[in-house]
């Protein structure tokens, strides 16, 4: 190896090191993508039991924010997987937050009782919180980091209870 090759090797090394984040991107489960980082719009909503939740209070851990509506077919299909995921992640530091878009308590209660009885949901009664987040459609899932920054977005419904997704969620950087 000549000395002239060393700078070239250094460049190659730098490129490889620089490529590390790209490799991490490639490990994203199908349908998840990096989100142009930005602060998650805060909200304070109550769930179907009347309990209040403030997104800011969840800082310090990752938050899985999931927007849905009972009339949305893909939401109905995805919700059981979200429920199983929540059970399987019970010991992990990911807070799962469901936000129903603009439906009443009775509708949400009836839907969840039939599709995912272990789940509770926050009620975005007038749809204004959903509007502030501007999802691409419903269902919509965002992963908010411990500092309150949206880092990832899911495209449409995802099989969240599958190992690839669970591993990804369990290995989110703390």
Residues contributing to the site for another protein (CB under 8 A): 30-31, 33, 69, 71-72, 101-104, 107, 110, 114, 125-128, 130-131, 136-138, 155-156
CA distance 126 to 104: 9
Minimum CB–partner distance for residue 57 and another protein (Å): 25
Closer to another protein by CB, 132 or 149: give it: 132
Residue 154: strand pairing partners: 32, 141
Minimum CB–partner distance for residue 9 and another protein (Å): 32
Minimum CB–partner distance for residue 27 and another protein (Å): 17
**What is the token pair recorded at 52?**
């209040």
Closer to another protein by CB, 59 or 125: give it: 125
Closer to another protein by CB, 46 or 147: give it: 46
Closer to another protein by CB, 89 or 116: give it: 116
CA distance 174 to 17: 22
Minimum CB–partner distance for residue 155 and another protein (Å): 5
Minimum CB–partner distance for residue 18 and another protein (Å): 20
Angstrom distances, CA of residue 57 to CA of 17, 39, 69, 86, 165:
36, 14, 25, 19, 25
Closer to another protein by CB, 101 or 141: give it: 101
Find the DSSP H helices in 28-173: 73-88, 105-115, 128-133, 163-170
Q: Who's near 142: CB < 8 A, 6+ residues apart?
A: 35, 40, 64, 65, 133, 135, 150, 152, 153, 154
CA atoms lying within 13 Å on the CB side of residue 123: 17
Collapsing DSSP to helix, strand or coil, 83 comes out as: helix
């Amino acid at each position: 190896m000549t000395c002239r090759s060393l700078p070239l090797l250094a460049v190659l090394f730098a490129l490889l090191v620089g490529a590390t984040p790209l490799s991490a991107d490639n490990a994203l489960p199908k349908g998840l993508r990096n989100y142009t980082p930005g602060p998650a719009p805060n909200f304070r909503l109550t769930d179907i039991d009347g309990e209040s939740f403030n997104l800011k209070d969840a800082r310090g851990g990752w938050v899985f924010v999931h927007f849905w509506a009972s009339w949305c077919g893909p939401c109905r299909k995805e919700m059981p997987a979200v429920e199983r995921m929540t059970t399987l992640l019970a010991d992990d530091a990911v807070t799962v937050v469901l936000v129903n878009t603009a439906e009443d308590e009775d509708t949400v209660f009836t839907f969840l009782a039939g599709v995912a009885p272990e789940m509770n949901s926050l009620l975005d009664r007038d749809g204004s919180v959903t509007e502030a987040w501007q999802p691409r459609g419903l269902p919509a899932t965002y992963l908010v980091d411990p500092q309150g920054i949206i880092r990832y977005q899911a495209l449409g419904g995802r099989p969240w209870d599958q190992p690839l997704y669970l591993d990804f969620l369990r290995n989110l950087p703390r």
